[in-house]
Structure 1
Amino acid sequence: MSPLVAITGTLLAVTAVPYLAFLGLYAWVGPSGSPAEKSEAKPTVSVVLPTYNESQIVETKLEDLLALDYPMEKVELIVVDSSTDDTREIIREYFADLEAPDLTLIEEDERRGLAPALNEAYEAAEREMVVKTDCDSKLPQNVLREAAANLSDPKVDAVTGRNVEVLGGSGVESGYRGVQSHIQQLESHLDSTLIFHGPFSAFENDALLPIDPNSLADDTELALKIRRQGGRVIFDPAVQYKEASHSAFVKRRKQKDRRAMGLIRLLVQHRDALGEYGKYGKLVLPFNWWFMIVSPWLLTLTLVVGTVAAIASLGTAGAALPVAVGLFTFLGQRDALGPAQALYSLFDTQVSLLRASVELLRGKGDGTWEVDTELREAFE
C-alpha cells in the first residue's frame, strides 16, 4: 500500500469517527418528541416580523399570521421595516380596520442590518412569549400553542422547530433538514440544541438578551446566550413551519453560505463555552465544532489526497474519483440520487461551510440580507 493511499484511509477514518459516534449515541438515547414537560398554556405573545422590500408577499404573510389558532387579543405584532418599496404602506392599510392583534410598526430610515433591527423589536416586545418569524415562511395554525406548551416548562426558555415542507420542492434542502432535525432532537434530549431557525423561534420575554449588531446568526446567537445564562433551549418537531429553498448548486450558495458564515463566526466567538454548561458544552458544542469547522477541511483534504493517490497508483484511470464526485454533485443538485439524496445534502452543506470559512478568513460578511425573488415566488 502506497503512503498516499494509507494517508487517504487515515483521513477518511478520522473524518468519519465523530459521525459514527453520533449515530451510536442517537441509537442509545433514542430521542423522540420534545424533551419539555409540556402543558396547555396561552401566554400573551409578541410576534416579531422583520421586513425589507416584502411588498410582493407581506399581505400573504399577514393573512398567515391572522389565521393562527390563538386568541388574537393576546397577540401583538411588531414589524421592524427598512424597506424602500411600499411594504409598510401595505401593512398600515391591512391593519386599518382590525381590532386585534395590536400593531407596532418600527420604521427604519436606513438599513442597518437584521441584528440591530431585531434588537429594537425585542426591546419593544411587551408580551410574555416572544416569537420571531420571517416574512417568507408559512406557519401551521397550531404553532403558537405548541410553542407555548414547551415554554410552560419552567426549565425551558426557548424553542424552535422543523421545516416540514420545503417550498419550491428542493430535495437537497429537504434531505438536509431531515438529517438536521435528528441532530437537534438528540441535542435537545441531551441538554439543548445549538441552531435556532428564523422562520419560527419562540422565547420567554424575560430571557431575551441583546445580540451582536454584526451577527449573521441572530436566532442561534440569542439561543446560545440564553443557554449560557442558564435557560434550556430546545427543538420540538411538533413546532413546524414551511420555508422555500433552492436545489441548484450555484443558487444554494447565496442562501447557505451566509448562514454557514454566521454559525461558524458564532462558534468561534463563543469558544469559551466549550466544556461548560453541562452536556451542552461537553457534547453539543464539540460536535457542532467538528461538523461546521473541522470536518469541511478534512473532507476536502481527503478528496485532494485521495485523487492524487488514485492518479499516482492508477494513472489516468485515477481521475475516476473526481469524476465520480462531479457526477454525485450533478445528480444531487437535481434531486436525482434517490436514497442517497440525504448524503448529498450533507456534502452540499460541507461545501457551504468550507466556502464560509474561506470568506471569513478573508474578512468578508456583514449583517444585511438580500431578497431572493425566486424564493418569494415559491412562497406565494
Structure 2
Amino acid sequence: MAGEWLAYGELGLAAIGFAPFALHRWSCGLWSKQKIECPEELSGLDMTILLPVWNEELIIEKKLANLSKQDFKAHLLLVDSASDDQTLSKAKTWLEDFPDAFESHKIIPMETRKGKTAAVALALKELEGSEGIIVMTDADATIMPGALERINRWFSNPLVGSVGGTPQREGKFESESEHREIYTLLRVGESSHDSTPFLEGSLLAWRAGMVSASDMYLSANADDAQIATAVRLNGLRSIQDPDLKFSDQMPLTRKGQRRQKVRRAQGLIRLLTRKRKHWFSHREGRFAKILRRNAWMHILSPLAIAAGGVMAIMRNIAYLPETSLTMALSAVELYCLASWLLARSNKSFFGIRTAGVIMCGLENLLVALVHSGRGKSLHMWEQHTDVRETLANQ
C-alpha cells in the first residue's frame, strides 16, 4: 500500500513538472498560426549597433566586416569589457582602415570587467536621450544579409518595441538542434499571441528610450531577456522574427554546452523571479499568462521532477513493482532515464529525442537553481575559446 502511495505522489509531481511543457507547446503551436507580418516600408529611424566585446581578438575583424556588409549604414558603439588581448587594437586598426564602414563609430573601454550586463548598461547610459533603433549583437554571431534593413522595417509598426533574430546554430550535437527547434517555436508563438520575454542577444533590436540602465540587473546575465521583458512591461511588444536569421557556433564539447545552458538558465530564472509581481497582473493581460507559464517551466517544474525522482528511487528500492500501476510507472521511469542519458551523450534517436531534450533542460534548470540557492552567480564566465578558434578558422 505504501508503495502505491509513493507511486501516486510520483504521478502528481510528474504532472506538475511536465504539464506546462505540453500545455505551452500546444498553445504556441496554435498561436504561431497567427503570423505577424514584417512591414514593407522603412521606419525612417537611424540605427546604432551596440557591440559588447571581451577578449575577441580572434574574430573581431570578421565581426566588423560582417556588419559593414549590411545594406543599411548604421552607427557603431563598441563597449570593451577590459580585454587583456588585442581586441581593442585590432578593432581600432580595422576602423581606421575602413573609415566609411559605418556612419560613425565610438569605442568605450571599461577599466574593469564586470560582465556583459554591466557593459550593456554602460552603453544605455551613453545612449540616453538618443532616438532611433539600437541593435545589439555578439561578436561570435554572423547576421544574415539584409538583417538591418529588415529590422528597420519592423519598427515602422508603432506597436513593436523590440525584435529578436532566430539562431541557426552550427555544430554536431543533434540534441541542440532539437532544443533550438522547440525553443524557436515557443518564442515565435509567444510573439504572435502577445510578446516573448526571451530574445537572443546575438541579434536583438529595440527602440531607443524604451530601456534604461536602471532596468538592467547588473549582477545577473540574460541581458537580452531583461531587455525584451522591460520593453513589454513598458508598453510595447517584444517579438522574435523567424525570418531574421543569424548563425553562431555551439560549444564543441558536451561540458561546454552544459556550462552555457546552466548559465543561461540561471539568468532566466532570476529574471522571472524578479518579475513575479507580473505573473498574475491583469494590467499585463496575455503577457502575464506567458510569464506565469515560463515561471512554472523554469522554476517549479525542475523542483517537482527532482522530488518525483527521489520518490521513484525510494519506491524502487523499498518495493518491487507488483501492481499494474507500479509496473507501468517503472517502465515510464526507464524511458525517461534512457532518454536523459542518451540525450546527454548525444546518442538520441527518434521517439526519445524530444523527451531527452526536456529532461536535459530540467537538469540544467535544477543545477542553476542550486547555484542560485548557494549564492553563486554565473553572470561572469570564462569564454568558450574553442568556439572562437573554430570561427577564426572558417
- 2:324: which partner in 1? none
Alignment of 1:95-244 (within 5 A): 95-97=95-97, 98-101=99-102, 102-125=104-127, 126=130, 128-164=132-168, 166-210=169-213, 211-244=216-249
| Structure-2 change in CA distance of 1:15 and 1:319 (3 Å) | closer
**1:324 Cα deviation (Å)?**
5.7
C-alpha spacing 1:79/1:15, structure 2 compared with 1 (3 Å):
same
Query: 1: CA distance between counterparts of 2:380 and 2:34?
Result: 36
TM-aligned CA deviation for residue 108 of structure 1:
1.4
Partners of 1:218 and 1:248 in 2: CA distance: 25
**Matched residue type, 2:339:** F
Counterparts of 2:46 and 2:25 in 1: how far apart (Å)?
Answer: 39
Report if aligned partners of 2:45, 2:152 keep a CA contact under 8 Å in 1.
yes
How far the C-alpha of 1:22 sits from its partner, in A, is: 2.3
What is the alpha-carbon distance in structure 2 between the residues aligned to residue 91 and residue 28 of structure 1?
46
> SS in structure 1 opposite 2:105?
strand
Q: TM-score, normalised by structure 1?
A: 0.90
Cα distance in 1, alignment partners of residues 110 and 86 from structure 2: 13
AA at the equivalent of 1:143: A
Match of 2:60 in 1: 58
Of 275, 281, 287, 2:293 maps to 287
Shift in CA distance, 32/180, structure 1 to aligned 2, threshold 3 Å: farther
Aligned length: 374
Q: Which amino acid aligns with 1:55?
A: E
Q: Select 2:33's aligned residue among 22, 31, 34.
A: 31
Matched to 1:79, the amino acid is L
> 1:267 Cα shift?
1.1
Gap regions ≥5 residues in structure 2: 322-326
Q: 1:48 pairs with 50, 56, 61, which one?
A: 50
Counterpart-to-counterpart distance in 2, 1:119 and 1:298: 35
Deviation of the 1:57 alpha carbon: 1.1
- Identity percentage of aligned residues: 26
Separation in structure 1 between the aligned mates of residue 204 and residue 60 of structure 2, nearest angstrom: 19
Q: Does 1:5 align with 2:7?
A: yes
Instruction: Tell me the CA shift for residue 36 of structure 1.
Output: 5.3
Offset of residue 32 of structure 1:
5.1
Residue 257 of structure 1 aligns to a residue in which SS?
helix
User: Compared with structure 1, are the counterparts of its residues 208 and 198 closer, same or farther at alpha carbon in structure 2 (3 Å cutoff)?
Assistant: same
Further displaced range: 128-137 or 104-113: 104-113
Q: Is the 8 A contact 2:10 2:312 kept in 1?
A: yes
CA distance in 2, matches of 1:231, 1:378: 38
Query: Which residue does 1:332 correspond to in 2?
Result: 343
Shift of 1:356: 0.7
Alignment of 1:85-104 (within 5 A): 85-97=85-97, 98-101=99-102, 102-104=104-106
Distance in 2 (CA, whole Å) between partners of 1:321 and 1:156 is 44
CA displacement 1:265-287 (0-9 Å, x = unmatched): 11111111122243344310011
Runs of 4+ in 1 over 6 A off after TM superposition: 317-323
The reply to whether residue 260 of structure 1 matches residue 262 of structure 2 is no
CA change 1:255–1:366 in 2 (3 A) is closer
Alignment match, 2:307 = 301
Quote the Cα distance in structure 2 between the aligned partners of 1:273 and 1:253. Answer: 30
- Is the 8 Å Cα contact of residues 247 and 335 (structure 1) preserved in structure 2? no
Tell me how far apart the structure 2 counterparts of residues 275 and 203 of structure 1 sit (CA, whole Å): 26
Question: What whole-Å deviation, never above 9, does each CA across 1:187-243 have from its counterpart, x for those lacking one?
Answer: 112211010211110011131221122231211112211211111111111111112
Q: Which AA in structure 2 matches 1:153?
A: N
Deviations 1:73-106 (CA, angstroms, capped at 9, x unpaired): xx11111112011101000110113223022111
Equivalent residues of 1:114, 1:369 under 8 A apart: no
Query: What do residues 249-271 of structure 1 show as CA deviations (whole Å, max 9, x unaligned)?
Result: 43223211111111111111111
- The answer to whether the 8 A contact 2:336-2:359 is kept is no
Cα distance, 1:378 vs structure 2: 3.2
* Residue aligning to 1:347: 359
Corresponding residue SS for 1:40 = coil
1:310 to 295, 316, 321: 316
- 8 Å CA contact 2:278–2:288 kept in 1: the answer is no
Report Cα offsets for 1:87-135 as digits up to 9, x if no partner: 0100011011322302211111221222221122233344611000111
In 1, the alpha carbon distance for the partners of 2:246 and 2:385 equals 20
**Alpha-carbon spacing, 1:129–1:176, altered in 2? closer, same or farther (3 Å):** same
* Equivalent of 2:377 in 329, 346, 365: 365
TM-score for the superposition, normalised by structure 2? 0.87
Distance (Å, rounded) in 1 between the aligned partners of 2:190 and 2:140? 27
Q: Comparing 108-117 with 11-20, which one deviates more in the overlay?
A: 11-20
In 2, the alpha carbon distance for the partners of 1:188 and 1:109 equals: 38
User: For 1:207, what is the secondary structure of its paired residue?
Assistant: coil
Query: Deviation at 1:321?
Result: 7.7
